[in-house]
């Protein structure tokens, strides 16, 4: 039996799970202030949900999906991202009358990519989707929420925001035509990958990492010249909003994003601190997605952040409350100690019981779990209604009444 995790997957345990939970909790508390509700869609969907929305020519659909036939003969795909499933849930759940809607989500995603630092095959995303708001205010709120969240987890100064406008459908179609004709005239100098993209997805050549392609892209027609008046006005309102909120940004006309459903504003928060996989949070508008899936025309904008990538940047591990140990003096005091643990835990204290062994073994166990102090309770103490408190750092000992345990421990917690 192979016992190592499958390539590109990992176990979350110890510090990695603590960081993961810290990131998700901070995201939850941020989105709460913006009036979001949480949604959790299934980990797998009918393959069509992704194939028809992300684009046949996108990297995800053409080579990265975990797709299989289930026992009923249905083609199923493990979700590579969360936006298409939420659009599907919106339509199948008949939520159109509840618009506008603001959803927060988090969970595992699956892409068969080449694993490297910051890139796994099972990774975790947290994200938001705002449905039914076509005004640029939604773009601004989405971007400012992302910025507030990244600062909240301690990443201030470690990232930059890059944005662009893809324009509406007509602007984009006109641009793709001009771009294709320009690139056709340089076909012989393009990289092999880009020659393939030229037919199916020419926009992706713009963000090609190959130097050969970049030399050609440098003089390509620029997207902004093809934007319709309404796309221009929308984008100007977004950038003005960012300026007003003092959120620095950079416009990069080669930012096109890899998925077909995007239109108008697209963006990435990037870092220079974790290597090649530098996008820590990215997203954009998708005003045609829901309609294209068979729902009523509904605007949408959102983002997703890779939790593993954020974890590479998060320095502080969450500060947890201190642990108290309860040490029974001999077998006869064990039941009373279980009751004391139960009571203290229900009051919100972190408590560990040193279950077995002689006194010295039990004290060693208290030390090992990292307790700051131990409540030592024997039969005599129970009769007198007291416990002895031992500070495990200083060794100081004192007696306290069982009735005032909770106020005593609260005081220790605040001093710790
Ligand atoms: P995406 O850019 O494909 O967009 O992924 C979003 C984020 O997920 C990336 O910026 C990155 O941090 C993380 N990520 C992607 N692939 C991997 C991987 N293999 N390993 C680790 N982290 C990864 C979307 O998924 C869109 N659904 C975002 C969105 C929401 N657009 C609108 N709403």
CATH number of the domain encompassing residue 372: 3.40.50.800
Q: In this structure, is residue 183 part of a structural domain?
A: no
Are the C-beta atoms of residues 105 and 127 closer than 8 Å to each other? yes
Using most ligand atoms within 8 A of CB, pick from 207, 283, 287, 298 the residue to mutate for ligand 1.
Answer: 283
d(CA 223, CA 232): 11
Q: Indicate if 47 and 125 belong to the same structural domain.
A: yes
Are the C-beta atoms of residues 305 and 283 closer than 8 Å to each other? no
Q: In this structure, is residue 233 part of a structural domain?
A: yes
Taking the model in full, what pTM does it have? 0.90
Q: Which two tokens stand for residue 19?
A: 């960081």
Decide which of 311, 336, 370 is a domain's last residue.
311
Q: Is 88 in the pocket of ligand 1 (CB under 6 A)?
A: no
Are the C-beta atoms of residues 268 and 279 closer than 8 Å to each other? yes
CATH code, domain with 52: 3.30.930.10
Q: What is the pLDDT of residue 416?
A: 79
Q: Which two tokens stand for residue 374?
A: 């131990």
Kindly list the averaged pLDDT for each block of 10 residues, start to end, along the chain of length 416.
95 94 97 97 98 92 96 98 98 97 98 97 98 98 98 97 96 93 94 89 88 93 94 98 98 92 97 96 98 97 98 84 92 92 95 90 90 94 94 94 94 88
Q: In this structure, is residue 301 part of a structural domain?
A: yes
Q: Indicate if 85 and 126 belong to the same structural domain.
A: yes
Q: Whose CA is nearest to atom 22 of ligand 1?
A: 306
Q: Which of 379, 332, 377, 385 is nearest to 353 (CA)?
A: 377
Q: Indicate if 259 and 401 belong to the same structural domain.
A: no
Q: Is 271 in the pocket of ligand 1 (CB under 6 A)?
A: no
Residue 282 bridge partners (DSSP)? 268, 304
d(CA 295, CA 292): 7
Question: For the chain, how many structural domains are there in total?
Answer: 2
Task: Say if strands 250-251 and 160-165 run parallel, antiparallel, or are unpaired.
Answer: parallel
Q: Indicate if 262 and 373 belong to the same structural domain.
A: no
Q: Is 53 in the pocket of ligand 1 (CB under 6 A)?
A: no
Q: In this structure, is residue 109 part of a structural domain?
A: yes
Q: Indicate if 130 and 254 belong to the same structural domain.
A: yes
Q: Indicate if 349 and 267 belong to the same structural domain.
A: no
Decide which of 311, 339, 361 is a domain's last residue.
311
d(CA 149, CA 393): 36
Q: In this structure, is residue 9 part of a structural domain?
A: no
What is the CA(261)–ligand 1 centre distance, in A? 14
Q: Whose CA is nearest to atom 25 of ligand 1?
A: 81
| Biggest distance spanned by C-alpha atoms of the chain | 94
d(CA 204, CA 164): 14
Q: What is the pLDDT of residue 208?
A: 87
Q: Whose CA is nearest to atom 17 of ligand 1?
A: 119
What is the CA(333)–ligand 1 centre distance, in A? 54
Q: Which of 361, 362, 371 is nearest to 393 (CA)?
A: 371
Using most ligand atoms within 8 A of CB, pick from 41, 119, 126, 282 the residue to mutate for ligand 1.
Answer: 282
Q: What is the pLDDT of residue 331?
A: 85
Q: Indicate if 364 and 260 belong to the same structural domain.
A: no
Rounded to 5°, the CA angle 4-47-3 comes to: 5
Quick count: other Cβ atoms within 10 Å of Cβ 20?
Answer: 19
Q: Which two tokens stand for residue 86?
A: 């939420």
Q: Is 120 in the pocket of ligand 1 (CB under 6 A)?
A: yes
> Sign of the C-alpha dihedral, residues 147, 256, 44, 133?
positive
Domain ranges, residue 261: 15-168+228-311
Q: What is the pLDDT of residue 415?
A: 86
Q: Indicate if 273 and 249 belong to the same structural domain.
A: yes
- Complete edge-to-edge strand list for the sheet that includes strand 397-401: 350-353, 323-328, 373-377, 386-391, 397-401
Decide which of 278, 311, 344 is a domain's last residue.
311
Q: Which of 266, 279, 267, 276 is nearest to 310 (CA)?
A: 279
Q: In this structure, is residue 64 part of a structural domain?
A: yes
d(CA 84, CA 261): 9
Atom nearest to 125 CA in ligand 1: 8
Q: Whose CA is nearest to atom 16 of ligand 1?
A: 119
What is the CA(13)–ligand 1 centre distance, in A? 23
Q: In this structure, is residue 346 part of a structural domain?
A: yes
Q: What is the pLDDT of residue 376?
A: 95
Q: Indicate if 303 and 335 belong to the same structural domain.
A: no
Q: Is 128 in the pocket of ligand 1 (CB under 6 A)?
A: no
Q: What is the pLDDT of residue 343?
A: 95
Q: What is the pLDDT of residue 46?
A: 98
What is the CA(305)–ligand 1 centre distance, in A? 6
What is the CA(345)–ligand 1 centre distance, in A? 39
Atom nearest to 257 CA in ligand 1: 2
Q: In this structure, is residue 60 part of a structural domain?
A: yes
d(CA 94, CA 234): 29
For residue 53, with 0-12 CB atoms within 10 Å meaning exposed, 13-18 middle and 19 or more buried, which class applies? Answer: buried
Q: Is 302 in the pocket of ligand 1 (CB under 6 A)?
A: yes
Q: Which of 6, 85, 5 is nearest to 43 (CA)?
A: 85
Using most ligand atoms within 8 A of CB, pick from 281, 286, 304, 313 the residue to mutate for ligand 1.
Answer: 304
Rounded to 5°, the CA angle 308-309-313 comes to: 110
Q: Give the position of tokens 């140990």.
A: 325
Q: What is the pLDDT of residue 209?
A: 86
Q: Indicate if 246 and 368 belong to the same structural domain.
A: no
Kindly give, in sequence order, each residue whose CB lies less than 8 Å from that of residue 399, ignoring residues fewer than 6 positions away.
Answer: 386, 387, 388, 389
Q: Indicate if 234 and 117 belong to the same structural domain.
A: yes
CA dihedral 129, 133, 135, 140 (to 10 degrees): -30
Rounded to 5°, the CA angle 357-361-363 comes to: 120
Q: Indicate if 235 and 350 belong to the same structural domain.
A: no
CA dihedral 45, 49, 55, 60 (to 10 degrees): -10
Q: What is the pLDDT of residue 20?
A: 96
């Amino acid at each position: 039996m192979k016992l190592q995790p499958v390539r590109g997957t990992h176990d979350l345990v110890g510090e990695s799970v603590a960081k993961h939970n810290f990131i998700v909790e901070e995201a939850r508390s941020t989105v709460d202030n913006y009036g979001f509700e949480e949604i959790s869609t299934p980990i797998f969907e009918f393959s069509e949900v992704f194939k028809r929305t992300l684009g046949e020519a996108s990297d995800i659909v053409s080579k990265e999906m975990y797709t299989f036939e289930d026992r009923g003969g249905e083609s199923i795909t493990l979700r590579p991202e969360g936006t298409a499933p939420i659009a599907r849930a919106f339509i199948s759940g008949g939520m159109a009358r509840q618009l506008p809607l603001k959803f927060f989500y988090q969970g595992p995603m699956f892409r068969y990519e080449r694993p490297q630092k910051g890139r796994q095959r099972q990774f975790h995303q947290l994200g938001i989707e705002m449905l039914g708001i076509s005004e640029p205010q939604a773009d601004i709120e989405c971007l400012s929420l992302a910025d507030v969240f990244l600062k909240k987890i301690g990443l201030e100064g470690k990232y930059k925001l890059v944005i662009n406008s893809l324009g509406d459908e007509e602007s984009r179609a006109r641009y793709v035509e001009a771009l294709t004709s320009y690139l056709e005239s340089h076909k012989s100098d393009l990289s092999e990958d880009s020659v393939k993209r030229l037919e199916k997805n020419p926009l992706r050549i713009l963000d090609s990492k190959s130097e050969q392609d970049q030399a050609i892209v440098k003089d390509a027609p620029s997207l902004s010249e093809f934007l319709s008046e309404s796309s221009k006005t929308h984008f100007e309102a977004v950038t003005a909003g960012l300026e007003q909120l003092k959120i620095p940004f950079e416009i990069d006309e080669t930012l096109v994003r890899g998925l077909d459903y995007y239109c108008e504003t697209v963006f990435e928060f990037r870092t220079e601190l974790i290597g090649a996989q530098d996008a820590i949070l990215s997203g954009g508008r998708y005003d045609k997605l829901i309609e294209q899936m068979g729902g009523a025309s509904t605007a949408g904008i959102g983002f997703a952040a890779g939790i593993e990538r954020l974890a590479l940047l998060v320095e502080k591990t969450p500060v947890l409350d201190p642990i108290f140990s309860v040490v029974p003096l001999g077998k006869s005091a064990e039941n009373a100690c279980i009751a004391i643990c139960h009571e203290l835990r229900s009051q919100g204290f972190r408590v560990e019981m040193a279950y077995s062994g002689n006194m010295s073994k039990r004290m060693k166990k208290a030390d090992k779990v990292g307790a700051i102090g131990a409540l030592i309770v024997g039969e005599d103490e129970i009769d007198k209604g007291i416990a002895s408190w031992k500070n495990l750092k200083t060794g100081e000992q004192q007696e306290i009444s069982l009735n005032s345990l909770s106020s005593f421990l609260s005081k220790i917690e605040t001093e710790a």
